[in-house]
Structure formats: structure tokens, C-alpha cells
Amino acid sequence: MVAVVVVLAGGLLLSVAAAVTVGPADLSLGTVWLVITNHLGLTSADVPLLRDHIVWELRLPRVLGAAVVGAGLAASGAVMQTVTRNPLADPYLLGVSSGASLGAVAVLVLGLGAGAAALTGGAFAGALAAFAVVVAAAGRQAVLRPTRVVLAGVAVAQLCAALTSFVIIWAADPHATQSITFWLSGSLARADWAALGWAAPVLAAVFAVILWFARALNAFAFGEEAAAALGVAVGRVRWLLLVTTALLTAVLVAISGAIGFVGLLLPHAARRFTGPDHRRLLPIVVLAGAIFLIWVDTAARTLFEPRELPVGVLTALLGVPAFVLLLRRRDGNA
């Protein structure tokens, strides 16, 4: 177990460094390494300014953004599938991603602000607002019945999608139309150091909370009543985990839009190797999610150069067939 985590962590570091070298401008691993150590103040080697800029300002934040988003989505998905006892659950189940698109489009169309920061802020606010509406709509009974939360999430997602379409058509603004594509299919093109500066700490904090409850999550295997009879404070644990993962997802969506299938599939794929024990699953799924999204995003930005595919399109192209396979295997087992 420890060995696997060490290998995956090494693989993640290697993936970051290698993915940074891939792109239209040819860079070597050595150059990448020098730029990073220069900026960390460990070396003061001579690197051309343009290359320094490409590595430090463009590619590295994007690759790290992919790692953070992939890790966060995979971990949130694993937790959501367990606490809702629904193998089809993903981090967007509670309306968070649709709320984010609505928030971003509203900021654009209503002219509430300009620039990336305003958009990100709008998306984050929209995501949180959507989650708040879901919680309110589910009502007090929600503690007892996760299905109600899920249904409320689906309803609110539909509502947000309808409102988003309405705003776009009403505003007839080409920027808004372009923007909605970004939020719906996801892209890491906007990941920068500022975004990483708040996403990474949130990821670390939420992941620590999730890990703390790893054993409690295992107790959900036979349902929440069984978990309660095993001494887990089911209502409290479930709310804490739903709220923290929704918060994390809101942060991720604000950076990257809704990247589908990572949160749905990675947990299932990881369980094939780790088994269902969350003490093994969580550390591995988080590293696998990071590595997976780094490489899918690298493919998305380079496969059809100079055009860039939205990374969500590529995760879906890879994800849907893999998911169908998974479904067929489940049928086979049953």
C-alpha cells in the first residue's frame, strides 16, 4: 500500500515535469527543471526569458491546475458515491456545476465585472448558491434521506441550465455564448497561479477531512442504518462530507468548468485495484485523478494543434466507452 502510494506520487511528479515539456515550443526536461528551481530560489541558471515565461506562467500552472482539479474531482466522486450509496453519483450531482455556469454567464451578461477574476467569482458564487438551494429544497428530512438531496440536486441543475439558456438567448451576446461552452465542457486554459493559490489549500483541507472519515465511510457499505448501528453518527458525517465536497467542487468548477466523467469513473477504476476500503482507495484515487487529468489535458491541448479541444470533450470521449464497459461488467457480476 505505502509502496503503491510512493510509486504514484513519483509518477505524479514525473507527469507534471513531463507534461510541461509537451507543446508547440520544444522544451527539455532539463530546462523545465532549471526554471522551477530558479523560481524556487535554488538555482540561478541562465534561461531565455521566453522559455522561462512559457514554463512558469503558461504551462506549469496549467499542468498543476489539471492535477488539482483531477485529484479533487476523483476524491469528491468517491465520497459522493459512498455517502449517497449510488454508484452513478459524481461531484456535480448536487447542482454545483450548473450553478457555476449560470453564475459565470450572469456576471458576463449583467456586466457585473470584467476579467477572469470576476468570472471565477461569479462561477463560485453560482455554485454555492445552487448548493444552498438544493439543501433548502431537500428540507429537514434530508438528513434521513439522501435520495431527496439527490433529487433536489437534479431539479436545481435543470433549473440552472434553463436559466442559463434563457440568459444567453435574452442577452444575444456572443461572449456569453462562447463563455457557456467553456463552463459546460470544461477547460484548464484559465488555470493560473492565483487560482491555484486558493484551490490547492482547499483541496488539501477537504482531503484531510475526507481521510479522517475513511473508516466511517467504510461503514456505509451495508447502508446508513447499518453504519449508524456500527457507531457512526450518520447524519453528521454525511452532511459534513457533502458540504465539504460541494465546497471543493465549487472551487474546482470555478477554475475549470464542469469536466465530466473524472469524478464518476476514476473512483470505479481505482476500486478495481484497491478494493472498497476507503483507507486504501482515497490516497490512490486522488493521485490517479491528478495523473489522469494531467495527461488528458495535455492531449486536449496538443492533439489537434493549433486548435485546442475542451478537456471535458476528451474525458467524455474516453469516459463514455470506459463507463459502458464498466456497466457491462457489473451486469456480468450480478
Could you say which of 7, 276, 317, 324 contacts other proteins (CB under 8 A)?
Answer: 276
User: By CB neighbour count within 10 A (0-12 exposed, 13-18 middle, 19+ buried), where does 24 fall?
Assistant: exposed
C-alpha grid cell, residue 297: 489535458
Of the ranges 6-14, 41-49, 93-101, 274-282, which one interacts with other proteins (CB under 8 A)? Answer: 274-282
Q: Could you give the 3-state DSSP secondary structure of residue 227?
A: helix
Among the candidate windows 31-39, 111-119, 268-276, 321-329, which touches other proteins by CB under 8 A? 268-276
Pick the binder of other proteins from 137, 163, 209, 228 (CB under 8 A): 228
Closest CA to 63 of 119, 26, 19: 19
Residue 329 is placed in which grid cell?
461488467
* Binding status of residue 333 toward other proteins by CB under 8 A: yes
User: Minimal distance in Å, beta carbon 126 to other proteins?
Assistant: 33
Q: Which stretch binds other proteins (CB under 8 A): 16-24, 93-101, 219-227, 312-320?
A: 219-227
Nearer to other proteins, 39 or 279 (CB): 279
Closest CB to other proteins among 24 and 231?
231
CB atoms within 10 A of CB 142: 21
Sequence-distant (6+) residues with CB within 8 A of 125 are 103
| Size of interface with other proteins, in residues (CB under 8 A) | 24
Residue 304: what residue type?
A: F
Q: Which is nearer to other proteins, 225 or 305 (CB)?
A: 225
Place of cell 467542487: 249
Residue-wise over 293-314: b if at least 16 C-beta within 10 A, else e? bbbbbbbbbeeeeeeebbbbeb
Closest CA to 210 of 230, 238, 232: 238
DSSP 311: H
Under rule CB under 8 A, which residues in 199-218 are in contact with other proteins?
212, 214-216, 218
Nearer to other proteins, 6 or 226 (CB): 226
143 is an interface residue for other proteins by CB under 8 A: no
By CB under 8 A, residue 226 contacts other proteins: yes
Decide if residue 278 touches other proteins (CB under 8 A): no
41 Rama class: left (phi>0) / alpha (psi -120 to 50) / beta: left
Give the residue, chosen from 229, 320, 325, 327, that forms a contact with other proteins under the rule CB under 8 A: 229
CA angle 249, 251, 253 (to 5 degrees): 65
Please report how close the Cβ of residue 153 comes to other proteins at its closest, in angstroms.
Answer: 21
Q: Is 233 in the site for other proteins (CB under 8 A)?
A: yes
Q: Grid coordinates standing for 131? A: 448548493
Instruction: Find the binder of other proteins among 52, 173, 192, 277 (CB under 8 A).
Output: 277
* 3-state secondary structure (DSSP) of residue 25: coil
222 binds other proteins (CB under 8 A): yes
- CB-wise, 81 or 249, nearer to other proteins? 81
Please tell me the distance from the alpha carbon of residue 174 to that of residue 93, in angstroms, as a whole number: 29
Binding region for other proteins (CB under 8 A) out of 10-18, 183-191, 221-229, 291-299 = 221-229
Q: Which residues bind other proteins (CB under 8 A)?
A: 87, 212, 214-216, 218-219, 221-223, 225-226, 228-233, 271, 275-277, 279, 333
